[in-house]
Amino acid sequence: MSTPSVNSGPIVETKGVEVRFPLPTHFLSREKPVLHALNTVNVSIMPGESFCVVGESGCGKTTLGRSILGLNSPTAGEIYFRGQRIDQMDEATRKPVRRDMQMVFQNPYASLNPRRNVFETLAEPVRHLMPELSANEARTRVEQVLSETGCDPSWQRRLPHEFSGGQRQRIAIARALVTNPAFVVADEPISALDVSIQAQILNLLTELQQERGLTYLFITHDLSVVQHFGTRVAVMYLGQVMELASAETIFAEPKHPYTQLLLEAIPKLEGGSFDKPRQPGELPDPVNLPKGCPFAARCHMAQDRCRQERPQLRGLPNGTEVACHFAE
Amino acid sequence: MITWQGFLKRFFGDPVAIGAGIVLLVLVLMAVLAPLIAPQNPYDLLQLDIMDSEMPPSWKPGGDERFLLGTDAQGRGVLSTIMYGTGISLIIGIGAVVVQAVLGITLGLIAGYKGGWIDSFLMRLADIQMSLSTLMIAIIVLALFQAAFDANIYADYAIFMLIIIIGVAEWPKFARTVRSSVLGEKNKEYVDAARVIGLPARKVMWGHILPNTLTPVLVISTIQVAEAIMTEAALSFLGLGMPVDRPSLGSLIRSGFEFVFSGQYWITFYPALVLIALVLALNLLGDWLRDVLNPKLRRGED
Amino acid sequence: MAMLEVKDLHVAFPRGKHDEVEALRGVSLTLEKGERLGVVGESGAGKSMLAFAILNLIAEPGRVSHGTVKFNGENLLDLKERQIRDIRGNRISMIFQDPMVTLNPVLSIGVQMMETLRAHRKISDKEARALCIAKLKEVAIPSAESRLDAYPHELSGGLRQRVVIAIALLTDPEIIIADEPTTALDVTIQAEIMALILKLCREKDVALILITHDLGVVAEVTEKLMIMYAGKCVETGPTRQIIDTPRHPYASGLLKALPQHAGRGTRLYQIPGSMPPITNLPKGCTYHPRCDFATQRCHGGEPDLVNGVACYNPLTSDSANRTETKTEAET
């Protein structure tokens, strides 16, 4: 690709990314089954966005985030960060890039090493990725980021088990921000938290974005969060992007039948979502993917073509991109 | 996670733990301080007098108050030999466990973290090692060693040989324990967080994962010390362990065994009693540690 | 008289040798035939404890230290284990969060269903099998006959939870207690399962106690609502009324904190701090450290539940709006 200038182009771009996981088999068996976690995913995330990836478990949304950060290596396709291809970089060249890309995990009870105190947890990324900082500068940096994320400086010498879920998630956010990244993958950062804490964390993420001009890749299963938080949304199903649109558009005019199903399924305070009975819907087996559209089995509009031919993302007049033969 | 205060509180709340702890402490102190407190030095041939041999304990008729627990066939005081012997048994037990732990933790960590063929290879190796009984390996190696070198060299190096043989033969226990905890830990998000910043595998393994797998390692270490002491005792009893002039508890039991039927039971009986007490105390402490450190049995306390 | 009447239920756990902490601190509720009650609270609020206490299932070393649970006039807490087994799983069924825990992985679905049935009914093999198939069909499990021989791991999460519901319905219970029945499931599957539970409760006139943390779900499914905080009920009443005009500041805060209520990009209302652990409750009203409306009185004593709300300064529709301006609370 031609290298676009750093400012105008997308901050993160994936081109035809595929991730396959070989399934464990007996070492003598001939079959080598693979799980298709991601199938030709193309997304480009612009600087300053809150790009949301929505889908149910097994749809590949977490795999996408992890691939961008290099926690999974794509089996095919390319990943770019500020125009630079990063998926095949060796560790030495990648190091300066890592400083700019960080991650906040879902479960604050597992994402902090239980045997390290808060200071050690936060100082590690600084020491490793910013070796030019002196010990004193590193300490100042840790303290500063802690106070920005609403953590008390006195927490530094304490261990994770002394904190509540919300406090831990703040610490995890502080760790992600300590190297001053431009891009943060937030993988379901509030779904493990209690309702009254979720709003605190969402507000914190919004504030930090405004202060630091962060770009988020926000992974979630909860569309109501997307509605509040996201600028653009990719709806994923079985490793594929089914619909890609701005947050307003997707709630106003959902095009893909799967997006419509997701929106209907949200429990609403006004009621009425659960009144009509639904037939059980099943995900197809991600090991033996169907030939056609992965959603065809649950789709009310499915026709023969859907079972034969896999739809690709195509643009609609309202700016939405949708992977469906019949959506319009 | 359990704090030190919580740990001590649990310890002092459990009579079995206190009992086992006291027995172990007394035996360890006895072994460490043996050169200072033992009535004789059984290694010093000048202090031995063959006239003193096979004396019964001091409270029995014919007993001598110099030898509280009687003497053996060479005139060594049983009490003194037990004190020194406990030390040798403990050195072998702990030394063997250090060897086991170093080998087992390293290989287990690599197998668990790297996975794939390295894991399969190391674990099959462990399976093979486990299918050969420790005693059998030890008997073969020590018999060859004894045959190849003369008795003096054997006596000098027997302790190292025992440590290495028992250590090498039992590494799979550590490797398996560590590997299974690594498998549990390596998918946790804190490991991913370390990988996101590009930390090399070596640092992730030793710096992040290993400290979180040490709980079960601590538990099996205790029990493995007991096991190593037993193995050493068995080998010595078969005449393949420590030589008679630098006796461990096992060789003491052996040296007295031939006299049991002629009535001089004390030469075997008291070392055996100490051996049982030592092994039992270690096992009880190991079980207690497992209960205390196992979070599943400790729900709702932290 | 109500079908189920819980009065002043306390559950205590020992702390140290002589001390006790209360996980449930005096909860009362009534349930009529066919009524659907939602119990909402954060983790640790005692909502699951309530379900277990109703069925006298509190595990050692915990105990029900006070209160009564009257089911059709009979106090369940006085019954012997043998007698209560006749009610538990028979006239009051339970559905848990994780179907893999409820279902035994080594027994086929059919065997487990028939076992449940036989425990409570004298019934022939043939009849039992027919009844099981009928129940599986009722919960819309495709090809019910063949699923009877399937093992739990062969089913998807959604189907498993359907099986659990089928088992809960086998004995035609009068009450179903569902403890977070859809928390482990995906959004679309949750909608399926909740729609199913709702339909079955309506058709069969079964009462439901739905325990969840999700206000959206209770708004969809239940008629009556109880909001729990730190082992107590802070507000109870008709679901619609609480959702529309909450009176307890906690209930109001929870509702306002939902992202669907706020405009895009705006700041969400946030309740500061987090719920205190039961071992360390603040003096006075347990919510006062997080409350925007706390007065001197709230520091002193704990308010009782009066007219469905446990608050000295319950919100009116006016004061609820007033908080909008006060949202910038410290964390």
Residue-level pLDDT at B136: 87
Residue-level pLDDT at A56: 86
Give the A window 241-300 contacts with C, CB below 8 Å: 247-248, 261-262, 264-283
pLDDT at C260 over 80: no
- Please report which confidence band the pLDDT of residue A29 belongs to, taking 50, 70 and 90 as the band edges: low
Element (H, E) at C93: strand C92-95
Residue-level pLDDT at C327: 43
Share of chain C above pLDDT 70, in %: 95
Strand-strand pairing, A101-104 and A183-187: parallel
Taking contacts as CB-CB distances below 8 angstroms, the residues of chain A near B190 are 110-114
Domain boundaries, chain C: 244-326
pLDDT at A137 over 90: yes
Burial class (CB in 10 A: 0-12, 13-18, 19+), C230: buried
pLDDT at C101 over 50: yes
Contact A129 B197 (CB under 8 A): yes
Q: Provide the angle, in degrees to the nearest 10, between the axes of the packed helices A165-177 and A135-148.
A: 130
Phi, psi of B27 (to 5 degrees): -65, -40
- Please report which confidence band the pLDDT of residue A274 belongs to, taking 50, 70 and 90 as the band edges: confident
Distance from CA of A130 to the nearest CA of B (A): 11
Residue-level pLDDT at B295: 55
A105 touches B: beta carbon within 8 Å: yes
Least confident of A144-148, B286-290, C323-327: C323-327
Residue-level pLDDT at C19: 85
Least confident of A38-42, A125-129, A216-220, B12-16: B12-16
Taking contacts as CB-CB distances below 8 angstroms, the residues of chain A near C329 are none
Neighbours of chain B (3+ CB pairs under 8 A): A
C150 touches A: beta carbon within 8 Å: no
pLDDT at B223 over 70: yes
Could you report the per-residue pLDDT of C217-256, keeping only the tens digit for each? 999 999 999 999 999 999 999 999 999 999 999 999 999 8
Q: Would you give the DSSP letter of residue C90?
A: T
Q: Would you give the DSSP letter of residue C282?
A: P
Residue-level pLDDT at C33: 92
Distance from CA of A151 to the nearest CA of C (A): 9
Residue-level pLDDT at C17: 75
Residue-level pLDDT at A292: 87
Neighbours of chain C (3+ CB pairs under 8 A): A
Residue-level pLDDT at A214: 94
Rounded CA gap, A31 and A34, in Å? 9
Domain boundaries, chain A: 1-24+31-89+226-267+282-328
In this structure, how many other beta carbons lie within 10 angstroms of the beta carbon of residue B150? 8
Residue-level pLDDT at A7: 55
Spatial CA neighbour of A120 closest among A102, A138, A134: A138
Could you report the per-residue pLDDT of B173-190, keeping only the tens digit for each? 999 999 999 999 988 999
Taking contacts as CB-CB distances below 8 angstroms, the residues of chain B near A169 are none
Residue-level pLDDT at B157: 83
A23 touches B: beta carbon within 8 Å: no
What rounded mean pLDDT belongs to chain C? 87
Contact criterion met (CB below 8 Å) for C166 and C197: no
Could you report the per-residue pLDDT of B251-273, keeping only the tens digit for each? 888 877 777 777 777 778 888 88
Mutation for C interface: A167, A250, A273, most C CBs within 10 A: A273
Superfamily of A1-24+31-89+226-267+282-328 according to CATH: P-loop containing nucleotide triphosphate hydrolases (3.40.50.300)
In this structure, how many other beta carbons lie within 10 angstroms of the beta carbon of residue B158? 24
Q: Which domains does chain B have, with CATH numbers?
A: 4-39+73-298 (1.10.3720.10)
Residue-level pLDDT at B59: 74
Contact criterion met (CB below 8 Å) for A158 and A118: yes
Share of chain C above pLDDT 90, in %: 34
Least confident of A39-53, B140-154, B185-199, C44-58: B140-154
CA distances from C5 to C74, C75, C284 (A): 10, 9, 28
Could you report the per-residue pLDDT of C273-327, keeping only the tens digit for each? 888 888 888 989 999 999 988 888 898 888 988 889 999 988 886 554 544 444 4
Residue-level pLDDT at B246: 79
Residue-level pLDDT at A66: 93
- Please report which confidence band the pLDDT of residue C330 belongs to, taking 50, 70 and 90 as the band edges: very low
Least confident of A237-246, B150-159, C6-15, C37-46: B150-159
Share of chain B above pLDDT 70, in %: 90
Contact B192 A103 (CB under 8 A): yes
Residue-level pLDDT at C318: 58
ipTM of the complex: 0.86
pLDDT at C38 over 80: yes
pLDDT at B170 over 50: yes
pLDDT at A165 over 80: yes
Helix (H) and strand (E) counts for chain C?
A: 13, 10
Nearest to C191 among A194, A199, A273 (CB): A273
Distance from CA of C129 to the nearest CA of A (A): 23
Long-range (24+ apart) CB contacts under 8 A made by A308-313 are A313/A42, A313/A241, A313/A244
Share of chain A above pLDDT 90, in %: 53
Rounded CA gap, A189 and A184, in Å? 11
- Please report which confidence band the pLDDT of residue A322 belongs to, taking 50, 70 and 90 as the band edges: very high
- Please report which confidence band the pLDDT of residue B1 belongs to, taking 50, 70 and 90 as the band edges: low
Residue-level pLDDT at C317: 63
